[in-house]
Amino acid sequence: MVDRARKGRYTSLAITARDAGATHLELGFPFSDPIADGPILQEAADRALRHGTHWDDLRSAVRDTSTVLPTIVMSYANPLWTRGLARSLANLKEAGAAGLIVPDLSLEESPPWRRAARRAGLDLTLLAAPGSPLARIDALARASRGFLYLVSRYGTTGGGEISRSADLAPLVRSAHAAAPELPVYVGFGIRDRRTALRAMASGADGVIVASALESALARRPSTATVPRVLGPIASAVRTGGT
């Protein structure tokens, strides 16, 4: 999560994440009403807003991290919409962002967003969920750019058990068949080696870690925290992926 209190530390956080095995960095822009998020990311957003975090903090954070790792911005729809979609996305591209995740953007609402992202040169990643019918998974995979974000279970981000690999596998297979070049990454509830292995066993190409890292950083805001959380997950992805 972008937080004004973290100013000046994004580059070193990105470097440690890269060294721990991360291939991309997701930077969240805090929103007052994050309906897809569990308590950890809700609190992180509240904290960031209390610290006076603004749009310009996001741009400068992206500038810092994008020299180290391809940086994907996660933002709810309203902050992007409110300053004009074309302008927001141009801002992010100019700061160096590679892609964008909008957790409250449905496939049905996505066409103007996909056009704007294409024009700005950003990959707009769509989310698929365990309840999505397979035909819908195919449509999502074909419309998604960068990767497909597969939500691991019914629930919000953070704690809780992820679905069984056997339940996720058909979704991953279907997405791979519809869009053979597009990697599928599993997120929501990936926090350690066990959950990462379980996600990878579905045939996914990678995992996304947010709450686990955010809560560890909230407890111990040092760069040493990053490899402690990401190391075991990255190694699970390497072994699970082969």
Partner 1 sequence: MPSRYGPYGGAFVPETLVPALEELERTWKAARRDAGFRRELSRYSRSLGGRPTPLYFAERLSRRAGGAQIWLKREDLVHGGAHKFNNALGQGLLARRMGKPRLIAETGAGQHGVATAMIGAALGLRTEIYMGEVDMERQRPNVLRMRLLGAEVHPVTSGQRTLKDAINAALRDWISNVRTTHYLLGSAVGPHPFPAIVADFQSVIGREIAREAACLWGRPPDLAVACVGGGSNAIGTFHPLLRTRTELLGVEAGGPRGHPTGAASLARGRPGILHGTYSYVLQDRDGEIRDTASISAGLDYAGVGPEHAFLKDSGRARYVAVHDEDALRAFRWLSEDEGIIPALEPSHAIFAAVREARRRPASHRIVVTLSGRGDKDLEVVGRAVGA
Considering beta carbons, is residue 128 or 208 the nearer one to partner 1? 128
Binding partner 1 (rule: CB under 8 A), the pick from 23, 50, 109, 121 is 109
Q: Which of 3, 19, 26, 161 is catalytic?
A: 26
Question: In the annotation, is 161 catalytic?
Answer: no
**Does residue number 151 form part of the binding site for partner 1 (CB under 8 A)?**
yes
Q: How many residues bind partner 1 (CB under 8 A)?
A: 43
> Scanning residues 12 to 31, which ones bind partner 1 (CB under 8 A)?
30-31
**Does residue number 138 form part of the binding site for partner 1 (CB under 8 A)?**
no
* Minimum CB distance to partner 1, residue 226 (Å): 27
Question: In the annotation, is 3 catalytic?
Answer: no
**Does residue number 54 form part of the binding site for partner 1 (CB under 8 A)?**
yes
- CA–CA distance, 207 with 217 (Å, rounded to integer): 19
* Minimum CB distance to partner 1, residue 71 (Å): 19
| Site of interaction with partner 1 (CB under 8 A) | 30-36, 38, 42, 46, 49, 54-55, 76-83, 103-109, 126-133, 136, 140, 151, 154-156, 160
